[in-house]
């Protein structure tokens, strides 16, 4: 099995590199953590781009934009979560897999925060599981390539940015597993 993804957990905040992934509902409202990470220029960009791109933020939809000036990111990936009804029954592994597919082969910071979000440590773990499953490749019986012919396939690195209490819960669980 090849492991094409690395997942880290970090507190909400600014700074970093790679892509920045934020989540919005059909009302295009960003969570406090996403607004902080983007700044006002980023929030305005999401609103303007959604109108011109006809992005309705339906569940499992995404819009990829160049990051605005002042945001430490290469690209801004806006993932739609749908209506209030859709957001009430989020399938965390599916959301993690969808997000990992949008940033495949890149480094990305994922802001797990949106209005009305009540994410628990188990939800963040399910999100990470979905991302890991999306990157899984069964290669046991494939013909082995010669070392000099191997391509350097870029690995995906996800940093899940979480609110303080949620992050503390995940780190506590992680300590018990080690």
Burial class of 4 by CB neighbour count within 10 A (0 to 12, 13 to 18, 19+): middle
Q: For helices 121-135 and 92-102, what crossing angle results, to 10°?
A: 50
102-123 tens-digit pLDDT: 998 899 999 998 887 767 888 8
Q: How many CA atoms lie within 13 A of 71 on its CB side?
A: 28
Rounded Cα–Cα distance for residues 13 and 134 (Å): 26
CA distance 109 to 157: 8
Whether the per-residue pLDDT at 100 is higher than 90: the answer is yes
Which carries the bigger pLDDT value, residue 50 or residue 173? 50
Q: What is the pTM of this model?
A: 0.84
pLDDT at position 1 is: 45
Kindly list the structural domains of the chain, giving each domain's residue range(s) and its CATH number in brackets, ordered by start. Answer: 5-137+155-177 (3.40.220.10)
pLDDT at 153 over 50: yes
């Amino acid at each position: 099995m090849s492991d094409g993804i690395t997942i880290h957990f970090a507190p909400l905040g600014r700074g970093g590199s790679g892509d920045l992934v934020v989540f919005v509902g059909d009302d295009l409202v960003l969570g406090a953590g996403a607004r902080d990470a983007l700044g006002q220029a980023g929030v305005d960009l999401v609103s303007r781009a959604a109108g011109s791109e006809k992005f309705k933020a339906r569940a499992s939809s995404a819009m990829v934009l160049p990051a605005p000036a002042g945001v430490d990111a290469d690209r801004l990936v806006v993932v739609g979560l749908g209506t209030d009804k859709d957001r009430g029954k989020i399938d965390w592994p599916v959301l993690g897999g969808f997000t990992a597919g949008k940033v495949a082969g890149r480094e990305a910071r994922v802001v797990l925060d949106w209005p009305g979000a009540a994410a628990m440590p188990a939800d963040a773990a399910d999100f990470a599981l979905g991302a890991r499953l999306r990157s899984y490749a069964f290669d046991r019986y494939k013909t082995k390539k010669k070392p000099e012919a191997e391509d350097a396939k870029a690995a995906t690195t996800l940093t899940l940015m979480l609110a303080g209490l949620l992050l503390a819960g995940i780190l506590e669980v992680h300590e018990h597993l080690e």
